[in-house]
Amino acid sequence: MSTFLKNNYIGSILLDFPVQPRFCDEASADDLSETIAKILETKFGPFLKLFSGSVQPAKPTLGWITLLSGEKGVTAVIRTFPTRSVVTVTVDYDLKIYEGTPPVTFNDISDLEAELAKAFQSFKKTSPIPQIKRALDFDTYFTTSDSRLLEYDVQEMVFDARSEFQHVQIARSINYGNVLILDGLVNLAEADLAYTEAIMKRGEVDYTGKDVLILGGGDGALLYELRKENAKSITMIEIDEMVMSACKVHLRLACGDTLDNYKHENYEIIVGDCIPFMVKCKEEGKLFDHVFGDLTDIPISTNPIGEIWNFFRTTLQLSFSILKEGGTYFTHANGVTAEENLKMFESTIKDTLMGFPVELTQSTAFVPSFKEKWVFYEVKRAIAGNNGPQE
Amino acid sequence: MSTFLKNNYIGSILLDFPVQPRFCDEASADDLSETIAKILETKFGPFLKLFSGSVQPAKPTLGWITLLSGEKGVTAVIRTFPTRSVVTVTVDYDLKIYEGTPPVTFNDISDLEAELAKAFQSFKKTSPIPQIKRALDFDTYFTTSDSRLLEYDVQEMVFDARSEFQHVQIARSINYGNVLILDGLVNLAEADLAYTEAIMKRGEVDYTGKDVLILGGGDGALLYELRKENAKSITMIEIDEMVMSACKVHLRLACGDTLDNYKHENYEIIVGDCIPFMVKCKEEGKLFDHVFGDLTDIPISTNPIGEIWNFFRTTLQLSFSILKEGGTYFTHANGVTAEENLKMFESTIKDTLMGFPVELTQSTAFVPSFKEKWVFYEVKRAIAGNNGPQE
């Protein structure tokens, strides 16, 4: 058993199974709950009925609910859903009272569902769900871009603190190495070289002799990989020093020695806000060949409005104002399943850059720690002469 | 919203938050549930109290439980866990009664938890869990090798039937292409070339002019990739024709045209049991350069006992009896997190092959659709002369 499973939690076991419609009738509610209780008792010991009645006294057709309570404080809720002829059973227990040994394994859950299905002459339609571990001391559940649930093999949190800007966590996992988590979202793992190579289009873009600007990028991975590409200069501007000091220690496989010192011969890390920095570059006529928008993820929303979208628009427009003709802006976007969001992303880019002749390219890469395929954009500031002036 | 989310389900919303110990007292149970009900009402409408009392009448120290019922048959269970000073709230609803529109989004769940934490002057320790979709018409939750929960972007089941041997499903997903699922376990997706290349050690093994045997491999991917390697002959023996006929149509990106015809000039597919087939090869003195054990996964168990482990031992021993000296047996094992199981795997291989001089090599590869790093074994039948006779 991994360290992770030894961790204390409240376990919720969710069982569901289809039944013949007659079992959802009010009349058979008691029979049903008694049969279910008998099956549950094989794993949890005897139960006592605390409550049984229709879900809505006014509308008994909405279903029946039974509340059972057992030894060691285990509780079970049995619920019928007449519209779908489905019964759900939810069992909750406190691992501490079970002295750290869960009363059931995943195989037991599977067996229980099979027993229940058999008792009600139904066939089990979907796979069992492993128990949900609630009230954990640290995060192990994270989500995809479309809010699907993923349970990670977090062994421990090696860093956990709140900076002025965000909640910064680094989790140790066997599958992905250490994983940087910002405000509850998986940001980058040591196993995610694929992410960095996708955003920088390694092998497709020649950085030799170029001036490069990274907005954000506090994990240091992009800077570390770009350093290998013979650029003339790389400037990185990151607002959150805590991210860098945590990654320097705990995300070493991704950032190498990049974050050990901020000032170097051909690259520099500036701690600060990228907006005033770009405004200053613009005023001073400082131009870059490539700008990376390696900033906060934009959460999925139905419209491109709100603070983060505005921030995206502002940084994109400023980036273009300090980008040489023929230069490129690179950024990450979202998961491939977030189709509507990606369309919004593209139209926001086009609308924001109305005054510039641009070429927009989308690419995808499977990012191990995200457990999904991610979309990246390359926005090239086309050479006006080639496209005709658009301003 | 994807097709997937439009699917009908019973939604379970799981909230949990730490509280000051005093809120877990019996005396404050009613205040607590009333405060929580008020917060839940902002999203679900008014609630009625169906039950409130201590979890165990005999042991009130085990916690308090309140059952609420609302409009549209939504129910909420509020539970205190005094040992951990934690409160859990579980809300269940029937999507059909909500006419297909879930009453809350993932952001709402996050907001609710924040409100609850604020009301009880607690701070939220872990990230919110997206709602669990129960009683779905098709599987979307699958597990890792160590029974962690993963929610897939299954758009629809393009194939779902039970063969004489197993439950055969093929799910369509955006992230992984089509995914073959056998008895509820993710087997191979169209995006999993990494799996096939890892088991065959592409680029490291020269198959030119070799005689190759595949045990299992019904998805056709291994055969399809091996066909590109100039082997002299490839024989594949798969017991379940249904797997092959389903993959031929729906797993085309993985198997190409391999399963369209079973008999070819330099490769052949035999439908049947691999054990009698290998016994016959042994009797006839037919030897192979490479044998692939691409058979059923061995589930994690505490001891290498039971039918599947026996099957593994038998096929391994038979494979070695028809393997040329210097030849290799390749197989997949388990996820990297299943450390004890992998040790069992290795010692079982060594024990089973006691009579043969063998060289055992482990390698790993991240398999996209498994969402984890998988372990593969290469077991070389060493040339006796080089190692000294061991028989």
Is A156 within 8 Å of A171 (Cβ atoms)? Answer: yes
pLDDT band with cut points at 50, 70 and 90 for residue A6: low
pLDDT in tens, A101-111: 999 999 999 99
At A132 the pLDDT is: 96
- Are B69 and A55 within 8 A, CB to CB? yes
Question: What single-letter DSSP state applies at residue B2?
Answer: -
Strands (E), A217-261: 233-238
What domains sit in chain A, N to C, each tagged with a CATH number?
A: 8-134 (3.30.160.110), 141-188 (2.30.140.10), 191-387 (3.40.50.150)
CA–CA gap between residue B69 and residue B77 (Å, rounded)? 9
Nearest to A96 among B84, B94, B174 (CB): B84
- Any idea which residues of A carry the catalytic annotation? 294
Cα of A238 to nearest chain B Cα, Å: 25
N-term to C-term CA, chain A: 64
> What would the mean pLDDT of A200-211 be, rounded to a whole number?
97
Place of tokens 């999925």: A300
In this prediction, residue B2 carries a pLDDT of: 43
Whether the CB of A310 is below 8 Å from some CB of chain B: the reply is no
d(CA A316, CA A52): 59
Question: Band of the pLDDT at A123, cuts 50, 70, 90?
Answer: confident
Q: How confident is the model at residue A195 (pLDDT cuts 50, 70, 90)?
A: very high
Q: How many CB atoms lie within 10 A of CB A71?
A: 15
Average pLDDT taken over every residue of chain A: 92
| pLDDT in 10s for each residue of chain B, 391 residues | 344 445 689 999 999 999 988 888 877 888 999 999 999 999 999 999 999 999 988 888 899 999 999 999 999 999 999 998 999 999 999 999 999 999 999 999 999 999 998 998 887 667 899 999 999 888 899 999 889 999 999 999 999 999 999 999 999 999 999 999 999 999 999 999 999 999 999 999 999 999 999 999 999 999 999 999 999 999 999 999 999 999 999 999 999 999 999 999 999 999 999 999 999 999 999 999 999 999 987 777 778 888 888 999 999 999 999 999 999 999 999 999 998 899 999 999 999 999 888 999 999 999 999 999 999 999 999 886 654 444 4
CB A68 within 8 A of CB A50: yes
Indicate yes or no: CB of A149 within 8 angstroms of CB of B130.
Answer: yes
H/E stretch holding A55: none
State whether residue B52 sits within 8 Å of chain A by CB: no
Contact (CB<8Å) A77/B67: yes
Contact: A132, B132; criterion CB under 8 Å: yes
Instruction: Check CB contact under 8 Å for A336 and B174.
Output: yes
CA-nearest of A90, A193, A368 to B366 is A368
B191–A366 C-beta distance less than 8 A: yes
CB-CB under 8 Å, B175 with A372: yes
Interface test with A, best of B150, B192, B303 (most A CBs within 10 A): B150
Predicted pLDDT of residue B296: 82
8 A C-beta contact, residue B315 and residue B215: yes
Residues B12, A77: C-beta atoms closer than 8 Å: no
For residue B360, the cross-strand partners are B379
Does any CB of chain A come closer than 8 Å to the CB of residue B264? no
Closest CA to B150 of B124, B105, B185, B107: B185
B79 lies within 8 A of chain A by CB: yes
CA proximity to A229, closest of A214, A207, A212? A207
Residues belonging to chain A: 391
CB < 8 Å to A132, chain B:
14, 129, 132, 149
Does the distance separating the beta carbons of B335 and A175 come in below 8 Å?
A: yes
Predicted local confidence at residue B15, as pLDDT: 95
Query: Which of B14, B55, B106 lies at the smallest CB-CB distance from A73?
Result: B55
Q: Which of B79, B153, B368 sits opposite A92 (nearest CB)?
A: B79
Q: Please, what is the Cα angle at B254 between B252 and B260, to 5 degrees?
A: 50
Looking at chain B, how many residues does it have?
391
Nearest CA in chain A to B60: A73
CA distance B275 to A335: 44
Residue A3 banded pLDDT, cuts 50, 70, 90 = very low
Interchain contact B141–A (C-beta under 8 A): yes
Backbone angles phi, psi at B20, to 5 degrees: -65, 140
**Chain B hits for A48, Cβ within 8 Å:** 56-57
Q: Where are the alpha helices (DSSP H) in A62-165?
A: 106-119
Distance (Å) from the alpha carbon of B245 to chain A's nearest alpha carbon: 22
Residue B135 touches chain A, beta carbons under 8 Å: yes
Report angle CA B246, B252, B253 to the nearest 5 degrees: 140
Closest CA to B219 of B191, B176, B258, B183: B258
Q: Does A174 touch chain B (CB under 8 A)?
A: yes
Which pLDDT value is given to residue B6?
Answer: 58
Q: Match 């699922």 to its residue by tokens.
A: B181
User: With an 8 Å Cβ cutoff, is A72 touching chain B?
Assistant: yes
Q: Do A337 and B174 make contact, defined as CB atoms within 8 angstroms? A: yes
Report the side by side order of strands in the sheet with B167-173.
B154-162, B167-173, B177-182, B185-189
Q: What's the gap in Å between the CA of B69 and the closest CA on chain A?
A: 6
The residues near A286 (Cβ < 8 Å, ≥ 6 apart) are: A322
Interface test with A, best of B85, B113, B175 (most A CBs within 10 A): B175
Model confidence pLDDT, tens digit, residues A8-61? 899 999 999 999 888 888 778 889 999 999 999 999 999 999 999 999 888 888
User: How far, in Å, CA of B370 to CA of B372, rounded?
Assistant: 5
Q: What is the pLDDT of residues A318-375, one digit of tens each?
A: 999 999 999 999 999 999 999 889 999 999 999 999 988 899 999 999 999 999 999 9
pLDDT of residue B389: 42
Any idea what DSSP says for residue B8? Answer: -
pLDDT given for residue A387 in this prediction: 47
Residue A204 backbone dihedrals phi, psi, to 5 degrees: -110, -25
Q: Which residues pair with A54 in a beta bridge?
A: A64
pLDDT at residue B385, as a whole number? 60
Phi-psi group of A25: left, alpha or beta (phi > 0 → left; psi -120 to 50 → alpha; rest → beta): beta
| Contact flag A88-B12 (C-beta cutoff 8 Å) | yes
Contact A377, A360 (CB under 8 A): yes
Q: How far is A371 from chain B (nearest CA, A)?
A: 6
Cβ(B179)–Cβ(B171) below 8 Å: yes
> Taking CB atoms and an 8 Å limit, are A67 and B77 in contact across chains?
yes
B224 — phi, psi (to 5°)? Answer: -60, -45
Whether residue A55 lies within 8 A of chain B, CB to CB, comes out as yes
